[in-house]
Structure 1
Amino acid sequence: MPEDEAQHTPPDSLLQVIDNLARFHREHEKYYSQAPLRQAAELQARSRALKSLADRWSDVEAGEQASSLAFAGTEDLNAPGLAAESGILFMEGEDEPAELRRLKREVGMIAEDTEQGGAWLARAMEQAWEIAGSLAAYPALVDLLGERHRIIANDWQSAGLQALVARLLRRALDLLARVDFSPAALRADLRSERKAPSYLYSASELFDRAADLMAESATLVHENERRWRTFRTRVRELQSE
């Protein structure tokens, strides 16, 4: 390669690093363009469960304990079809259904994982931004810097969405924590102010918004696929010269 052209091209050592990043981060993002969609679908299912209970408790008249038999289902508190769909079953003489406790625990784990993932991604994009800026010194790559910076921008935006998702989920859990899900307490609420349905509706709406943002995050990452492929093709061409 003539000396003047070599000055326009990154050194081989830098090209190797760039190629490594492009290859492995493209593979990594294939996962993160799909995983949030699965999580969003699961979160929507949890939201539907809360809405089903809220719908039921908005209209039903509170009953008395229908059976002295342990583990008998409560006729008034259970939403039609919900036990088969979600496993949530209110039983006489019992406390909060185990499935509801699991729902809240799992949502808390999603919030924690999403917050940590978003923080990691934001830190990674800080570094990627600096590296991408340094490539402006090499004219052989300048025409692709728009592509590279778009990848970074999409990932940075995804990181911000993940942080917001975590906030929404934690606030929804705060709302659910204000509801006593024991049959006795729920019946007392149904006979008075019926506060429980409002808490469940609001929590479900926050679940819904979090699910929407998860899907948006996946879309942003998915948009990077062609850009990674284009960028890496150029890097490999330069390596072969």
Structure 2
Amino acid sequence: MAENEAQVSPPESLLQLIDNLSRFHREHEEYYSQAPLREASELQARSRVLKALADWWSEVGVGEQASSSVGFAGAQDLNAPGLVAESGVLFMEGEGEPAELQRLKREIRQVADDAEQSGAWLTHAMEQAWDIAGSLAAYPVLADLLGERHRIISNDWQSAALQSLIARLLRRALDLLAKVDFAPAALRADLAGQRHAPAYLYSASEMLDRAADLTAESAMLVHDNERRWRVFRARVRELQSA
């Protein structure tokens, strides 16, 4: 009986490895099932800033309201009602692009960089995890859990792909924002003519919205793993006790 047990049970070293992975990766994923939701909310907030400006600039008239020559005075025609208090974005006479918009773009770029790095790391990790999970098929006592383990891997792999796509969307949104000259004089020239600026802002905001949706979807995929890790680890600990 002991000989048959040895044939179907993984070696103790492998059980210890699986137990370690099941514990710490479950804890790691508990964080990544929540943190992306906060990030999605922040992306949506940045998108709302762009939409508010686009809405206002699609309708506001320029000319008589643009006559103030007082430095640092608020540009009445360019500042969307209520947006200054909500976001801090303030267009001022005699100034260039608001510092708050510059910061908004830096933050988006940082999120894109982080998403790209996370996606690349997770893709590599899942390549290795896939191979290890396949080797567990040699042990019948784990056969009924192989579906659970591969579901964890597939969820994480899909999350990795989403991270890469999120990075692409955010960088393309930045490309569109780079088409807009946010200096008050340049904006007024555009709004007095073809009004291209609102169109670029709408499209950039829609890309931020999609990135936010995918970020939330990534969190849902990771959250789906929680019970599966718990079940998998429980079996491993049973085998260790035996």
- Could you state the TM-score of these two structures normalised by the residue count of structure 2? 0.98
Residue 103 of structure 2 aligns to a residue whose secondary structure is helix
The residue number in structure 1 matching 2:221 is 220
The residue number in structure 2 matching 1:9 is 9
1:34-54 per-residue CA deviation (whole Å, 9 max, x = no partner) reads: 111100000000000000000
Percent identity over paired residues: 76
1:97-127 per-residue CA deviation (whole Å, 9 max, x = no partner) reads: 0000000001000000000001000000000
Cα distance in 2, alignment partners of residues 85 and 66 from structure 1:
26
Residue 143 of structure 1 aligns to a residue whose secondary structure is helix
Q: What do you get for the CA RMSD once the two structures are aligned?
A: 0.8
Map 1:58-207 → 2, pairs under 5 A? 58-63=58-63, 64-207=65-208
1:52-103 per-residue CA deviation (whole Å, 9 max, x = no partner) reads: 0000000001135342222110010000110111110000000000000000
On the 8 A contact 2:66/2:77 being kept in 1, the answer is no
On the 8 A contact 1:66/1:74 being kept in 2, the answer is no
Cα distance in 1, alignment partners of residues 187 and 130 from structure 2:
53
Unaligned segments of structure 1, at least 5 residues: none
- Could you state the TM-score of these two structures normalised by the residue count of structure 1? 0.99
Q: How many residues align?
A: 241
The reply on whether 1:38 has 2:38 as its aligned counterpart is: yes
**Cα displacement (A) at 1:5:** 1.2
On the 8 A contact 1:66/1:75 being kept in 2, the answer is no
Cα distance in 1, alignment partners of residues 70 and 199 from structure 2:
31
Residue 7 of structure 1 aligns to a residue whose secondary structure is helix
Instruction: Decide which moves more: 63-72 or 97-106.
Output: 63-72
The residue number in structure 2 matching 1:20 is 20
Unaligned segments of structure 2, at least 5 residues: none
Cα distance in 2, alignment partners of residues 3 and 86 from structure 1:
69
On the 8 A contact 1:66/1:92 being kept in 2, the answer is no
On the 8 A contact 2:166/2:211 being kept in 1, the answer is yes
2:83 aligned partner, one-letter code: L
